[in-house]
Chains A and B, each alone.
Chain A
């Protein structure tokens, strides 16, 4: 059974870079047809998708965050990571990593996030 676990500092100072890692257990991150996503949820608010990466390194980012986000993958460690630069208090949230399974309907590909980590709280404060 695949499990995801987020890790990283719980407190980041304004203007610094937030760095989180998601460790995949129970399966190789390279096996199967998957994308690996980061999402976040400010307290009391809804879900926001940050971006995703394939095991080949192809990335897609939320346009609203694209200028500050970098997602990378380390297949040797079975991990993928998030870096968010120039953080402010507005970046305070629970951050989740998730697996996106890829399906195909003819020539049309679809995705769904079927495995999620438990989430990690990141607070931006001096």
Chain B
């Protein structure tokens, strides 16, 4: 079965750039999505189709996908961006999620 791998945790200082990676076999041939989840809340879509932002998502969120790695980049990270981030792709009509990355802003 297809697998996506994320680092368990990433730390960033306020105002700096955070990068969260997601690795999978030939992931660049698929479209990646990213979801943000804060404690006690439902996931929120922040990036779809590799790099597109849904309405209402701040411009500081961006995404890329090439080769075996998709990357979520948060520029000018704010305290409100702290939470868990999940990458997701579709493989054979099955949604596959990465294990999640806990972003800490300190």
Contact = CB atoms under 8 A, between A and B. Distances in A.
Query: Chain A's interface: helix, strand, loop or mixed, by majority?
Result: strand
Interface stretch (A23-31, A46-54, A71-79): A46-54
B31 A49 contact: no
Contact of B94 (A39, A63, A112, A119): A63
Interface string A104-126: 01000011111011110000000
Query: Chain B's interface: helix, strand, loop or mixed, by majority?
Result: strand
A116 B49 CA distance: 18
A60 B49 contact: no
Contact of A113 (B31, B33, B96): B33
20 contacts: A37-B95, A39-B95, A46-B97, A60-B93, A60-B94, A63-B94, A64-B1, A96-B42, A96-B43, A105-B49, A110-B48, A111-B95, A112-B45, A113-B33, A113-B35, A113-B88, A114-B45, A114-B54, A116-B44, A117-B42
